[in-house]
Structure 1
């Protein structure tokens, strides 16, 4: 937070409590107090000296932190799980800040997952209009013809959603084992996006990994490894999402 006045929802998002969009709903729903008074106006601006409470808990400003995890298969993209399964924050060691995943990867999907306490950064990367490349490699059962794979670019409908890829590339075809490895690039990731697309085409995914997120790759990491993003990487990711 700077010495200048900033919008209340931005300050809440930067605190790591939630995204800016959800912060706006909390304000409208009367869940936010500034200096012990309920505030419901989204245009409200606050200073660093103001006391802000969300759901009765006072905000403590945290410095923004940014992590990249090579999420293994069989791990929940959450900070807790009521069934006692492994969650992504189990792999981050002693992190004092209240971080949370940016988006999610399915339980059976591995690869790059970003975590942060910066709600604005998370919102920027998740919004489909900003078009940050997310590159996946999928092993699929069966060998579709090119005309079938071309449907991925046009899009297929599932549960009233249009699911499509920005581009795809065939990496390997194994006719003996009757499978294919395909690289697919998305700008948004709906729930089980790639798996649902391939199920509709009749070529289910047996293995899926997100290998690249913007400029970030898995180079030097093994499943379960994590590292902090450098200031340069954070800056470049913000620039990529803003252009």
Structure 2
């Protein structure tokens, strides 16, 4: 091929089909064809005019799009659900591209959720080594002591995971209702991270909201509503992850 300009795994990731790492796996396993020929070499480069198939499915070159959704409670962070519950993509009306959520928010949690068809961008933000801050506000049943709260930064054992918060801030305490409003900043995103961490300390989370993801927050949005990210915001989020 002449005028080669993009690595094959990058093009597959940018299509929104999968992450770059998984794309590399498809290539080395012989599941990718370029112009009808199987390609197994990771250094292969392609041009926009090349025809690409991944596991028998033609690669559709969609425009890359990025959305910020104020996810409400009672919605699944997925593109489909085997129990036929509402999923986050049901809330994005009139969007032709096949977007999917960047990470997850629990069914009973609300707040910032990003959706995109850019697999490379999604993988960049989700990978733990890039350490993009996510800020949550949790309403707790019970009032942890300063010593117990200090344990959050050291790490709390839950099953086989050591769950940590980068920092925390007590927003309010209601002694009559025996509850606390606690702000937590995370850089990892393990399954039910905040809920499991607080449950392990003996303080169940009654409500949980993700207030921000990196530089992005919920300003101007109501639950269930969304907006497109600006090109500047997309660039800022990339730079934040890469520490540029």
Q: d(CA) in 1 for partners of 2:231 and 2:50? A: 29
Where in structure 2 are there 5+ consecutive unaligned residues?
Answer: none
How many pairs were matched up? 241
- How far is 1:157 from its partner? 1.6
Please list, as runs of the form range in 1=range in 2, the aligned pairs for 1:120-135 lying within 5 A after superposition.
120-135=120-135
| Correspondence for 2:74 | 74
Instruction: Answer yes or no: is 1:11 the counterpart of 2:11.
Output: yes
- How far is 1:49 from its partner? 2.0
Structure 1 counterpart SS, 2:40: coil
- How far is 1:238 from its partner? 1.2
Q: d(CA) in 2 for partners of 1:27 and 1:157? A: 38
- How far is 1:240 from its partner? 1.0
- How far is 1:40 from its partner? 2.1
| Correspondence for 1:187 | 187
Instruction: Answer yes or no: is 1:161 the counterpart of 2:161.
Output: yes
- Give CA deviations for 1:30-71 in whole Å, capped at 9, x if unaligned: 221111112222222222222100121111211110000000
Instruction: Answer yes or no: is 1:152 the counterpart of 2:147.
Output: no
Structure 1 counterpart SS, 2:90: helix
| Correspondence for 1:178 | 178
Q: d(CA) in 2 for partners of 1:4 and 1:159? A: 48
Tell me how large the CA RMSD over aligned residues is.
Answer: 1.1
- Give CA deviations for 1:80-130 in whole Å, capped at 9, x if unaligned: 112110000011101111111101111111000000011111111111221
- How far is 1:28 from its partner? 2.2
Structure 2 counterpart SS, 1:98: coil
- How far is 1:180 from its partner? 0.3
TM-score (norm 1): 0.96
Q: d(CA) in 1 for partners of 2:137 and 2:41? A: 45
Does the 8 A contact of 1:68 with 1:112 survive in 2?
A: yes
Q: d(CA) in 2 for partners of 1:30 and 1:107? A: 37
| Correspondence for 1:47 | 47
Please list, as runs of the form range in 1=range in 2, the aligned pairs for 1:1-243 lying within 5 A after superposition.
4-243=4-243
- How far is 1:25 from its partner? 1.8
- How far is 1:4 from its partner? 4.5
Where in structure 1 are there 5+ consecutive unaligned residues?
Answer: none
Q: d(CA) in 2 for partners of 1:127 and 1:118? A: 14
Does the 8 A contact of 1:17 with 1:98 survive in 2?
A: no
